[in-house]
Amino acid sequence: MLKPNFDQAEFLKDYWQQKPILIKNFFSNFEDYTNPEELLEIACINAVDSRIVTTRPEYCVAERYSLTQGPFDADSPLPALTEKNWSLLVQSAELWIPDLQEMIRAFGFLPRWRIEDIMVSLATQGGGVGPHFDQYDVFLVQGLGQRTWCIGERIDLTAPHTSLPDTASGLNLIDEFEVNQQFIVESGDVLYIPPGYTHWGISQTPSLCYSVGFRAPSNAEMIESFSNRVMELLTESQRLTDHTTPPMRDSAEITAKDWQHAWEVVAGHLANKGAFLRAFGSLVTEAKSPEFIEPLDDEVHIEELLAFRGPTVELVRNPASRLAYAVQADSDPLLLFVDGESYELDRICLPAVRALCADEPENLFDISESGSCVQAPERTLAPVTALIQITRAGGNELLLKCVIACHRGKLREFGNDIVRSPKQNTRISFSQHRCVIIGIACGDHPKVKPMKSFNALPLGVFLAQFVINNIALLISDQAMAKQGRKV
């Protein structure tokens, strides 16, 4: 298990959102979660957000960095690893390299709902993206190789600042960069940079960097989300009423009494803290990759799902889904937030909700077996897998969004016909480690239908070639034989 070596309390007190810090050997004996060759392959997948930034040292800053947007193929080839001065950036890499969930768990001392994604960058000697700043907290975890990081001043993000408004790289580059600190980072080192601090990384050798970004919602986003929630609670018939007033001196004037009365009406609606909590929870759990989450068409009965429980089948969360919960006052319901939707649950569901939302959730079969399925709301979103609703005491609904993953912890991608073992770079032919799907209750099912393009699905999440009631069921040859079915 990946565990950070540092004083969390001291970091939160003295550094978090305040000033940069380099933590040497943050991860002892760090092992990379990918390698240059694999990351180059991932950059060629259509659904991956990837880009190449090429550095031309002889040019002025405004023209020094050029951007090429992925995906990459024969018409838009990737540079060779032997070439210098380029950097490949892959966003949301945790969806394509599932083992990176372990790195997310290592930052469990911070709110999980603040995590934006993990960007993995591969850079050859001299590669980088130029001097820039970000509007979020970032932990730069160094993997393979060495990089030099220069830290500059902190920019007031609320005031105009000196930057290059039109650059080939599309980044918030800084025209004038004064170095205040400089570090050389190696495998396992972590550099933390708060929002607004200018920084500039240059690879000294071919290197990998894992950027764990923590993004806070903007004030504008919170106001928009809250106002939309309040508007949903109002009806067209709820309108501003006029107080009895003396005849107008000037019909064009908006009097102080008029606008203050209107403000009191609006402020009364804005005082709804319950509506704000639902809006806030929905905002911070909005799916960052909604293309990997689809509506659930049919009801899924928990009994059907539990029929496949066994040592060869694992039930896991969809890594593209975002979950959080909020405990309100004793008389108010428990709130569960899943991919931008909020659900009211009885407080008796709190242990199961905590287990579901945990950094390292328990076996979801154990969480789900205590109840039965009910019909999902039409607005409910679910992955191309399953949204399970479980009733507990008093008919309270517990919603579990999950997928069936392959057995024995293996991670597979059907589209590329490969099997990738956790923390290993070796690849095994899909036919050498066979996994098949079966119908509900081990029988043929009329709703078996072809799944959509595998090229648009993340590594290690979807294996099966079919969806059965939106559940991908994978079971080993041995388990299939035990259930009397031919492989």
Q: Which two tokens stand for residue 311?
A: 């040592």
Angle formed at CA 355 by CA 351 and CA 360, multiple of 5 degrees: 155
Which residues are CB-contacts of 256 (< 8 A; sequence separation ≥ 6)? none
Angle formed at CA 251 by CA 247 and CA 256, multiple of 5 degrees: 80
Q: How far apart are the first and last CA of the chain?
A: 36
Residue 252 CB burial class (10 angstroms; 0-12, 13-18, ≥19): exposed
* pLDDT at res. 157: 72
Peptide bond into 71 cis (omega under 30): yes
Domain ranges in the chain? 8-214, 217-236+258-284, 290-482
Asked if 23 and 6 touch (Cβ cutoff 8 Å), the reply is yes
Angle formed at CA 155 by CA 151 and CA 159, multiple of 5 degrees: 170
Strands (E), 320-425: 323-326, 334-338, 341-345, 381-383, 386-391, 397-405, 411-413, 418-420
Pairwise CA distance, residues 370 & 179, whole Å: 59
* pLDDT at res. 51: 93
Given a cut of 70, the residues of the chain with pLDDT beneath it are: 1, 61-62, 159-172, 244, 292-318, 360-487
Pairwise CA distance, residues 434 & 428, whole Å: 10
* pLDDT at res. 362: 58
Adjacent-strand bridge partners of 316:
403
Strands (E), 75-180: 86-90, 115-123, 137-142, 147-154
CATH superfamily of 8-214: Cupin (2.60.120.650)
Nearest to 286, CA basis, from 333, 359, 221, 237: 221
| Buried/exposed code over 411-442 (b: 16+ C-beta within 10 A; e: otherwise) | bbbbbbebbbbeeeeeeeebeebebbbbbbee
Asked if 93 and 455 touch (Cβ cutoff 8 Å), the reply is no
Q: Which pTM was predicted?
A: 0.75
* pLDDT at res. 139: 98
* pLDDT at res. 229: 92
pLDDT 10s digits, 301-354: 556 556 656 655 555 566 777 889 999 877 788 888 888 888 777 777 777 778
Asked if 225 and 280 touch (Cβ cutoff 8 Å), the reply is yes
